[in-house]
Structure 1
Amino acid sequence: MNATTPQPQADLSKVQTLLARLYTQTALRQRFFEDPELVGKEFGLSAQEIQLLSTLPPAQTHFFSHSLIHKRQGQVQKLLAYSYGVMGSTFQKLFHQFAEETNFKGIRKHQEDALAFASYLQQSLKQDTALAARFPAWLGDLLAYEAACIEANQPSCRLLVRWFRYPVRDIARALFKEQPPPETTRMTLAVWLRPTSSHKLTHRLF
């Protein structure tokens, strides 16, 4: 009786790692479909594993990738609602750039996504003067305020204190009412407090 040569098993962890990157990074995805063997070897995949991934339909993979980013973007827009309202399509465009290099996991992945993107936007506004010139000077503070609200709502947060150059509460209220926000600076102290996990989060601005 002839012995059957056992087939090597695919390393699912490596396959899953590359698959996740293909769904989130456009440049890598394009490289893979142009030369799956080269990209597969870069990730330490065997010939069998490369063959497995090379059967992915490019059109469906691109569609699924855009769907994932769109879903992430929708969640982040809800968490940074006021900033999104100010930035509009620029917010969406920059999120797509941001999403190319990030992919958060876990039960609070949307919150982590929003916090990281708020930081990304703040850095973009500081480094790109042309971008900053298109928006009100208080946008950076508004982003920081919305990010602080997300951070304060984490179950482990007990006390959070932030200073702002602009009256962020008045700005948020004006945006909510679709009225012109104040443009003048006014130092504002924001405090979030939850003494224990059983206490309700309280928030004050001074």
Structure 2
Amino acid sequence: MSKPTWPASNSGCPEIKDQDKDGVEDANDPCPTVAGKFNGCPDTDGDGIADNLDKCPNTPGVAANKGCPEIKVEDKKVLDVAMRAVQFETATSTITKASYKNLDAVVSVLNKYPEMMVSIEGNTDNVGEPDRNQKLSERRAKACMDYLISKKIAANRLSSKGNGENNPIGDNKTKEGRQQNRRTEFNPIWR
């Protein structure tokens, strides 16, 4: 068996394929055609998270949010308040007029974070038939989603689902607990 010979242009070393010339061999480079310092991948926004792993590659963020910006405390409060404050006409999915200002605040938060998506989840107490509560929770979540869409939030940033009476946060044996369970949650998701 003869020893391999390497081109003189590589000072006698084997030729390494590195299309983007970032020093990471293509075979080990998850981004072989774009130079980068993070395992061969770029970090466009400079947040320390490589673009191929960054859900918000053009906006600096934190690892806990997959490279997307951390939601400010006051913006988290808006989503939490909306969860408790969005109300509906009794036994319907008709949003009360008093609830629109809370939904408008959610619109403002979504406009601040264009990469953020929101899962809207409707919940009910355990009064009534479970099937009816399930359908009511679905309609209420969709009503909130439709309102946000009417305020120019892109539909592909929103999803809605109903949990019926299956996710209580309060005691269904008390009036206060049932009131806590009748809610619509706005849960941030990063694309």
Does the alignment reach a TM-score above 0.5? Answer: no
Larger radius of gyration: 2
**With structure 2 as the length reference, what TM-score do the two structures score?**
0.26
Higher helix share: 1
Where relative contact order (Cα < 8 A, 6+ residues apart) is larger, the structure is 2
